Amino acid sequence: MSVNMTQRKKVTLGQLRKRYQENEPLVMLTCYDATFAYLEDEAGVDILLVGDSLGQTIQGHTSTLPVQIEDMVYHTQCVARGNTNAFILADMSFGSYLVSEDEAVANAVKLMKAGANMVKLEGGAPVLPIVRRLTQMGIPVCAHLGFTPQSLNLFGGYFVQGKTEISASELKSAALDMQEAGAAMVLFEMVPASVATEITQLLSVPTIGIGAGPNCSGQVLVLQDILGIYPGRSPKFSKNFMKDSSSIQEAVSAYVHAVKSRVFPTMENSF
């Protein structure tokens, strides 16, 4: 066991809250299997996100929509087996929390039994009762706002959300409502940096940004993007950390260091 592993403490929600209060940036990275769970944990990633982006990165689909809750359970189990200390956040897949509150609870329970410490779900007002109920039942929730990939068909493409005064104000209300309903974390995807900054200052729970500027409480990226191995053009908000690294371990460590020292993201990676 390396020195890093022996010194690292188990990352709990309490630990994350403490770091947030002490203004220490939180580092999140997607993770889908045991090997990378071990590697990311060793590199000091705080939160392993078992994202439904596995629909694209692992399963080869063109969106997250085909992903099943059973897929999320399987990958959460794999990540949990490889992980020792990091906090595990698992995505609720498309359709797994839309049909009824009871079904949402049953599916969230499956993810927690698989090893998740928190579940993430996308959307605003319609999911508020689910966020409230899960929280009341002892399941911590991260609310995903802004560009929500499961609503790709409604958005009609990968567009930045919250650009107009009205939509920015709606985003602000949605975040406050999520916090009031019990969300322990709010993730913003593709939101103007100024809007994410203002909402982060308003909330008393940590915010995590992806294409949401440098002032969120933490940052998340997709593993394949930071390694520069996802086919095609990489998104503006991402960065290939493999370019200046001689190994995958070094690239993941460089990402951790860049977020912790607030070197990443810059306004160049923002909207």
Return the active site residues. Answer: 189
> In whole angstroms, how close is the CB of 200 to ligand KIV at the nearest point?
16
Q: Among the candidate windows 45-53, 78-86, 96-104, 194-202, which touches ligand KIV by CB under 6 A? A: 45-53
- Tell me whether residue 71 or residue 189 sits nearer to ligand KIV (CB atom): 189
Q: Among the candidate windows 49-57, 127-135, 237-245, 252-260, which touches ligand KIV by CB under 6 A? A: 49-57
d(CA 248, CA 239): 14
Cβ-Cβ contacts under 8 Å for 169 (sequence gap 6 or more): none
Per-position x/- string for 205-234, each x denoting binding to ligand KIV as judged by CB under 6 A, each - no binding = -----x---------x-x------------
Please pick, from the candidates 41, 42, 52, 71, the single residue that binds ligand KIV as defined by CB under 6 A: 52
d(CA 213, CA 215): 6
Residues 153-192 that bind ligand KIV (CB under 6 A): 187, 189
| Helical (H) or strand (E) element with 27 | strand 26-30
- What is the number of H-type helices and E-type strands within the chain? 12, 8
Question: Of 167, 159, 142, whose CA–CA distance to 217 is shortest?
Answer: 142
71 binds ligand KIV (CB under 6 A): no
- Tell me whether residue 51 or residue 123 sits nearer to ligand KIV (CB atom): 51
118 binds ligand KIV (CB under 6 A): no
40 binds ligand KIV (CB under 6 A): no
Question: Of 227, 196, 226, whose CA–CA distance to 214 is shortest?
Answer: 196
Cβ-Cβ contacts under 8 Å for 200 (sequence gap 6 or more): 207, 215, 216, 217
Q: In the complex, which residues of this chain contact ligand KIV (CB under 6 A)?
A: 30, 49, 51-53, 91, 187, 189, 210, 220, 222
